[in-house]
């Protein structure tokens, strides 16, 4: 695919990001896409390898290698190279319901497994995907395509994140009448309120939702199923119910002083910021501001980085991001061979911005919080941290993290954001539907299945598999749609790659 010698003739190029001190002045996306001709050259770099791991989507070393959606990447790389944009869109949409989202927020496990990346730079797969989908919108290929026949069957989807939307999309195209319930005031779930605007501008979520409405899907916002509307009512009104409520319980940090004023979960911080931004361009003040505050963020993942970028945009006084794990190497280690996901150091946009503003990387590794220190009024004023080190337990031989004696430090902090991940579904939803949970607080199903212990109730996405990537949520949405259609019709023509 692509040009047989392209990987030797052309270097990898990606869209140019605005300079950090420029882009922090707003919450807009900040990359300037390549021209169509430049993008065609990037398609040419796909090297016609014998085994394209980029589309494998298999688990290697406990991490996904290649695309979980099994996107037909070599095919549409070739179509980009030859300028057949409409055909490229057709091949992309065959496997991916929402390339307009994944092209912006996916960490691109496909590129981590690209054969070009074994001894050089991988193909700019994510950039090619972005070019294909945006070209499709510009030229009318991505317009609404309502189903021509309806089955008379009805499905309720609870939750409008990527898993719920993917399930709704396929079931609607199949001809079932689908209604999506969302407890917040806007459709999109994680896509709307969990991912900051500078990574995914919400106009692009709204753009796709509008098309889905034109195709016949009904969206109902501001209804919290399990509270406002009960499970019994949905099961009476619909033939099937799909639970796609996400892994909504944030992991807490229970140490002395946890009740101090000024400690928030990252998800609440980010959600309020985006809602205020969309409602009033932050003029209503209905968000937690980091302006002129010393900010400590607990968690080294994507959500922690999003908190860094948001805090810098607010005008924080300082920002520190605490990470329990050691600093990753700059290149693959011997125990992390290709095509595994490369466990290498990544400096993301928020960290780049903090470096530009404050002159140093905000991340502190192998460290955890030991105490939150309050003033007399109960307000947070500092965080006590302690350094960690890995040691082998004599009895089990397992590696465990232990505190380093005498390594405590005091960090000034008026704002702490906990970005330590999520644990399972929220209890009131599970209780209302009477679905069983597994040991990880996810809704329990048989391996490889999506039907719960309750008749006609299915589950998908993070609520089923635990906190994961958007691309995995879309995959789960596709697979639950297949199973729901099978249960409704006795057969299915929803084909999942």
Domain that holds residue 332: 263-418
Instruction: State whether 126 and 162 are in the same domain.
Output: no
Residue count of the chain, please give it.
Answer: 497
pLDDT value of residue 354: 98
pLDDT value of residue 398: 87
Q: Report the chain's terminal Cα–Cα distance, integer Å.
A: 20
Instruction: State whether 208 and 311 are in the same domain.
Output: no
pTM score of the predicted model: 0.96
Instruction: State whether 275 and 336 are in the same domain.
Output: yes
CA–CA dist 337, 334 (Å, integer): 6
For residue 495, being part of any structural domain is answered with no
For residue 357, being part of any structural domain is answered with yes
- Both tokens assigned to 400: 């465990």
Question: In 52-179, which ranges are continuous DSSP H helix?
Answer: 73-82, 85-93, 99-105, 109-112, 125-138, 162-174
pLDDT value of residue 393: 84
Instruction: State whether 225 and 319 are in the same domain.
Output: no
Q: Give the list of residues 6+ apart from residue 416 with CB closer than 8 angstroms, or none.
A: 262, 263, 264, 295, 296, 297, 298, 372, 380, 383
Q: Give how many domains the chain has, as a whole number.
A: 3
Instruction: State whether 285 and 370 are in the same domain.
Output: yes
Question: In 322-398, which ranges are continuous DSSP H helix?
Answer: 349-358
For residue 146, being part of any structural domain is answered with no
For residue 337, being part of any structural domain is answered with yes
CATH number at residue 129: 1.10.1060.10
Biggest alpha carbon–alpha carbon distance for the chain:
71
**Residue 333, Cβ density class (10 Å: 0-12 exposed, 13-18 middle, ≥19 buried):** exposed
Instruction: State whether 26 and 74 are in the same domain.
Output: yes
Instruction: State whether 341 and 376 are in the same domain.
Output: yes
CATH number at residue 215: 3.50.50.60
For residue 435, being part of any structural domain is answered with yes
Q: What is the CA radius of gyration of the chain?
A: 23
Instruction: State whether 462 and 365 are in the same domain.
Output: no
Angle between helices 302-314 and 266-280 (to 10 degrees): 50
Contact yes or no for 310/290 (Cβ under 8 A) = yes
- CA angle, 167 then 170 then 171, to 5°: 80
Instruction: State whether 97 and 40 are in the same domain.
Output: yes
pLDDT value of residue 1: 64
pLDDT value of residue 3: 85
Instruction: State whether 356 and 269 are in the same domain.
Output: yes
Question: In 154-229, which ranges are continuous DSSP H helix?
Answer: 162-174, 202-214
For residue 255, being part of any structural domain is answered with no
Enter the DSSP assignment of 55: G
Instruction: State whether 376 and 285 are in the same domain.
Output: yes
Instruction: State whether 410 and 429 are in the same domain.
Output: no
pLDDT in tens, the chain (497 residues): 678 899 999 999 999 999 999 999 999 999 999 999 999 999 999 988 888 999 999 999 888 999 999 999 999 999 999 999 999 999 999 999 999 999 999 999 999 999 999 889 999 999 999 999 999 999 999 999 999 999 999 999 999 999 999 999 999 999 999 999 999 999 999 999 999 999 999 999 999 999 999 999 999 999 999 999 999 999 999 999 999 999 989 999 999 999 999 999 999 999 999 999 999 999 999 999 999 999 999 999 999 999 999 999 999 999 999 999 999 999 999 999 999 999 999 999 999 999 999 999 999 999 999 999 999 999 999 999 999 998 888 888 888 889 999 999 999 999 999 999 998 899 999 999 999 999 999 999 999 999 999 999 999 999 999 999 999 999 999 999 999 999 999 999 998 87
pLDDT value of residue 100: 98
Enter the DSSP assignment of 191: I
Q: Which of 368, 395, 418 is the last residue of a domain?
A: 418
For residue 77, being part of any structural domain is answered with yes
């Amino acid at each position: 695919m692509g040009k047989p010698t392209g990987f030797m003739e052309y270097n990898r190029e990606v869209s140019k990001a605005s300079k950090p001190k420029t882009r922090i002045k707003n919450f807009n996306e900040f990359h300037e896409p390549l021209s169509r001709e430049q993008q065609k050259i990037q398609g040419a770099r796909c090297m016609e390898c014998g085994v394209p791991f980029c589309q494998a989507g298999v688990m290697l070393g406990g991490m996904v290698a290649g695309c979980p959606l099994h996107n037909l990447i070599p095919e549409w790389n070739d179509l980009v190279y030859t300028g057949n944009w409409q055909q490229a869109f057709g091949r992309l949409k065959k496997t991916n319901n929402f390339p307009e989202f994944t092209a912006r927020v996916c960490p691109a496990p496909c590129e981590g497994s690209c054969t070009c990346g074994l001894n050089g730079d991988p193909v700019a797969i994510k950039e090619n995907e972005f070019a294909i989908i945006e070209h499709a919108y510009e030229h009318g290929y991505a317009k609404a395509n309502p189903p021509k026949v309806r089955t008379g069957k009805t499905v309720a989807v609870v939750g409008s994140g990527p898993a719920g939307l993917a399930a709704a999309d396929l079931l609607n195209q199949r001809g079932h009448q689908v209604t999506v319930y969302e407890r917040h005031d806007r459709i999109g779930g994680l896509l709307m309120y969990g991912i900051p605007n500078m990574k995914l501008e919400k106009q692009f979520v709204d753009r796709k939702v509008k098309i889905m409405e034109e195709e016949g899907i009904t969206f109902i916002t501001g209804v919290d199923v399990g509270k406002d509307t009960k499970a019994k009512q949905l099961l009476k009104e619909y033939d099937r119910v799909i639970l796609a409520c996400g892994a909504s319980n944030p992991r807490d940090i229970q140490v002395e002083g946890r009740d101090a004023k000024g400690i928030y979960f990252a998800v609440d911080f980010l959600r309020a910021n985006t809602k205020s931004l969309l409602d009033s361009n932050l003029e209503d003040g209905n968000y937690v501001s980091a302006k002129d505050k010393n900010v400590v963020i607990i968690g080294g993942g994507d959500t922690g980085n999003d908190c860094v970028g948001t805090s810098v945009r607010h005008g924080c006084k300082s920002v520190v991001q605490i990470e329990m794990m050691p600093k990753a190497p700059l290149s693959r280690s011997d125990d992390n061979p290709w095509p595994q996901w490369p466990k290498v150091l990544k400096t993301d946009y928020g960290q780049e911005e903090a470096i530009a503003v404050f002159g140093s990387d905000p991340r502190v590794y192998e460290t955890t919080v030991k105490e939150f220190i309050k003033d007399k009024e109960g307000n947070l004023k500092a965080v006590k941290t302690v350094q960690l080190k890995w040691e082998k337990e004599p009895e089990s031989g397992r590696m465990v993290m232990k505190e380093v004696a005498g390594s405590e430090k005091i960090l000034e902090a008026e704002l702490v954001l906990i970005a330590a991940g999520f644990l399972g579904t929220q209890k009131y939803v599970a209780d209302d539907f009477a679905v069983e949970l597994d040991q990880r607080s996810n809704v329990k199903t048989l391996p490889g299945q999506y039907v719960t212990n309750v008749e006609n109730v299915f589950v998908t996405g993070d609520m089923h598999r635990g906190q994961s990537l958007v691309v995995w949520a879309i995959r789960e949405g596709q697979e639950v749609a297949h199973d729901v259609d099978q249960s409704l019709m006795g057969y299915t023509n929803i084909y999942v790659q």
